[in-house]
């Protein structure tokens, strides 16, 4: 098969981790006789620096024309802590999500047996955790009307959802639950928010179409607690954009494998794969960042975007092997073992595929 | 001294835990020669059942006339999972907060040496944690305009903040930080929300009035992570209503002492003290609920509302003693030790004051 993949390395350590994912993907392509064309494009702070906007039209066209998008990370400290900055790398991310119609962010949290002791949680709490958040990504308060009134003294943000937006996300949730343990948790704040009541009402109506799925409805504050207490009691969770932002990040650290968590954003026009970690500016250029989350994001891409299960399994297997053998970057190296460089981990994966 | 305290027991286990806090408070009053008049009033599901509304005017008048309010918990399962219910116990809570002007919710999270192994976190992660959230409680998306459009197919909620709302909450944060380690964390989502940018801008402007306080600005998703990873790196945190709802609950479970965490809501007209746990409907009437969070809320009331430090210290000391001696309800009892009843714990505290 032939694939055209848009390559958005982004800022900070983005280019370094993307580089290793490309190496591994190319090796897989070779092994299974596929042909990948990578088309690099600018996004984030580097795009602002180069052309003044964080998600240039040219980048958008490249993404639209591609079979999938592989994304690194964006963000640069020079844009932080300046509430009045008018152009920000994050705007590029939001624009990209919106223009590509990436309405569902798929965020798994799972554990690696060899890393379980890295978790801040006790072993018995975290063992067996294998959950997936579906976060709505193109609606809610992120994209509602916002602004100032009264000479700038009053600020407002509007959270809006339509029934059809909830439905298409929930549908993915029900479908995913059907392929797993048939348990779906709808996370909302229906005791306070009207948008949450629309979410709950819509999901309740859909229940009859999926009689085998057991749906629970939980308030976002209760989920924030239970994720820390009994993460392994969850399976598939669906939620709106802002709750998803907070809860998926909370979930990511409980596994102790944050540097390894991949994600996908799927939608109308294409799908995008990216590590959940950020641009880690302090590590830029040092060849120390952990490339495994990006490599595993590439595995998700092979499986979900291209339907290539065997290829994905091969990537996951070699990642597991590298972990077992301690071929890991400094974030995962134990006190008395060697820390490998980003590029060395990538080389090892390619050599051991 | 003479105090008039409004007593809002609420629903579920509320009346049982309130009962023990009253016993302990009365014993303290006797010991230190104060005189407490308790004025009970209805709120929550029991108020809906009795008079049709969750926060009756009569209750409001009792609270306004009181020197402080001691509150149990509200909520009843018959009002859950019904997105179309028009009267809900939670509305009473929100109305009460608004009408009493309780704009700052003070939520400490700390650990008890004897309970540290109850934490889902590893000992080295949680040890030494002693943080306080100040959650804005009468603004934001909880109270903004909300409703439906397009025949009910579109729902919206509006988050609004004014500079003066941010200021009065932040002022409490700075002042609290000055009495502690002079570290303040402002939690927002300024990379996405206009209201968050107003928060950040306002707090940044206030920094010069408190030159000794070191302020950090962190995104809500990052805080949701770091709370699990390094809770003891935080001291005072300020945040808006909805973020506060999620993060304070997350924070409460990390300590392993959730059943013991008190809280205060302070503001314009009076102040209110309540355990952070809910109404725990399944345990209603069983005399098994842990009364210590409510007893410690009464201690906060003595100290903060009445300025009686010694009385507060005496309550805290006897609570500590009960924990050390294992005079605890079933939630804290170890496998092979006796679980005491709610009322037995209260009796023991009174006898050992
Ligand atoms: C950078 C920021 C705008 C973004 C978000 O809030 O969606 C990030 O936190 C994420 O989760 O991808
Ligand atoms: C019951 C609910 C409306 C309330 C809130 O969200 O404020 C509760 O979760 C709390 O934190 O006191």
pLDDT tens string B17-71: 999 999 999 999 999 999 999 999 999 999 999 999 999 999 999 999 999 999 9
In chain B, the percentage of residues whose pLDDT exceeds 90 is: 90
Min Cα distance A350 → chain B (Å) is 32
Residue A186's pLDDT band, with cuts at 50, 70 and 90, is: very high
Is residue A142 part of the annotated active site? The answer reads yes
DSSP result, A49-66? HHHSSSS-HHHHHHHHHS
A220 interaction partners in chain B (CB closer than 8 Å)? 245-246
> Of A238, A248, A262, A270, which is closest to residue A136 (Cα–Cα)?
A238
DSSP result, B85-140? -S--HHHHHHHHHHHTT--EEEEEEE--GGGGGGSSB-HHHHTT-EEEEEEE-SSG
User: Is the pLDDT reported for residue B82 higher than 70?
Assistant: no
Alpha carbon distance A35, A55 (integer Å): 27
Say if B158 is an interface residue toward chain A (CB within 8 Å): yes
Query: Whose C-alpha lies nearest to ligand 2, atom 2?
Result: B90
Q: Count other C-beta atoms under 10 Å from residue A210's C-beta.
A: 18
Tokens (6 digits) for B175: 């002042």
What dotted CATH number matches A103-259?
3.40.718.10
Mean pLDDT of B229-244: 97
- The beta-carbon contacts of B224-227 under 8 Å, at least 24 apart in sequence, are B224/A224, B224/A246, B224/A247, B224/A249, B224/A250, B224/B250, B225/A249, B225/A250, B225/A252, B225/A253, B225/A258, B227/A250, B227/B251, B227/B254
pLDDT tens-place string over residues B303-334: 999 999 999 999 999 999 999 999 999 999 98
CA dihedral B321, B326, B332, B335 (to 10 degrees): 160
Alpha carbon distance B301, B307 (integer Å): 8
B252 interaction partners in chain A (CB closer than 8 Å)? 225
Contact B83, A200 (CB under 8 A): yes
Query: Whose C-alpha lies nearest to ligand 1, atom 6?
Result: A245
Intrachain domains B1-102+267-353 and B108-258 with the same fold: yes
Say if A33 is an interface residue toward chain B (CB within 8 Å): no
Give the position, in ligand 2's atom list, of the atom nearest the Cα of B276: 12
User: Is the pLDDT reported for residue B269 higher than 90?
Assistant: no
Q: Which fold has domain B108-258?
A: Isopropylmalate Dehydrogenase (3.40.718)
Domain B1-102+267-353 matching CATH 3.40.718.10: the answer reads yes
Min Cα distance A348 → chain B (Å) is 30
Say if A242 is an interface residue toward chain B (CB within 8 Å): yes
Nearest CB neighbour to A193, from listed B80, B146, B247: B146
Task: Give residue A87's pLDDT.
Answer: 84
Rg (CA), chain B: 20
User: Is the pLDDT reported for residue A82 higher than 70?
Assistant: no
Does B227 sit in the ligand 2 pocket, CB within 6 Å?
no
Min Cα distance A79 → chain B (Å) is 9
Instruction: Map out the domains of chain A as residue ranges.
Output: 1-102+267-353, 103-259
Tokens (6 digits) for B307: 């300025």
Output the pTM of the full model: 0.95
Mean pLDDT of B275-300: 96
**Across-strand partners of A276?**
none
Surface of A (189-208) touching B: CB under 8 A: 189-195, 197-198, 200-201, 204
């Amino acid at each position: 098969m032939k694939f055209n993949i848009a390559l958005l390395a982004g800022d900070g350590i983005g280019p370094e981790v993307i580089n290793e994912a490309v190496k591994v993907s190319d090796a897989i392509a070779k092994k299974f006789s596929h042909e990948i064309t990578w088309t690099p494009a600018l996004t984030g702070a580097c795009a602002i620096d180069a052309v003044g906007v964080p998600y240039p039209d040219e980048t958008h066209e490249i993404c639209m024309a591609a079979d999938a998008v592989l994304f690194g990370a964006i963000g640069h400290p020079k844009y932080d802590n300046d509430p009045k900055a008018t152009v920000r790398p994050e705007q590029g991310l939001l624009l990209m999500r919106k223009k590509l119609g990436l309405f569902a962010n798929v965020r798994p949290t799972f554990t690696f047996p060899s890393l379980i002791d890295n978790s801040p949680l006790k072993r018995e709490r975290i063992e067996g955790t294998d959950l997936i958040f579906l976060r709505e990504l193109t609606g809610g308060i992120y994209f509602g009307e916002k602004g100032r009134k009264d000479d700038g003294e009053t600020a407002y943000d509007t959270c809006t959802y339509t029934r059809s937006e909830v439905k298409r996300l929930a549908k993915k949730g029900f479908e995913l639950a059907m392929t797993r343990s048939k348990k779906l948790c709808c996370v909302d704040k229906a005791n306070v928010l009207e948008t949450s009541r629309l979410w709950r009402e819509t999901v309740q109506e859909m229940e009859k179409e999926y009689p085998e799925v057991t749906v629970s409805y939980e308030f976002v504050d209760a989920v924030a607690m239970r994720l820390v207490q009994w993460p392994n009691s969850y399976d598939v969770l669906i939620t709106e954009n802002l709750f998803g932002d907070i809860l998926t990040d909370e979930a990511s650290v409980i596994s102790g494998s944050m540097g390894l968590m991949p994600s996908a954003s799927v939608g109308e026009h294409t799908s995008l794969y990216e590590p959940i970690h950020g641009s880690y500016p302090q590590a830029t250029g040092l060849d120390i960042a952990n490339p495994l989350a990006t490599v595993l994001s590439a595995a998700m891409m092979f499986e979900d975007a291209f339907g290539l299960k065997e290829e994905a399994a091969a990537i996951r297997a070699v990642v597991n092997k590298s972990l077992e053998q301690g071929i890991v970057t400094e974030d995962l190296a134990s006190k008395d073992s060697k820390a490998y460089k980003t590029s060395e981990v990538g080389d090892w994966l390619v050599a051991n595929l």
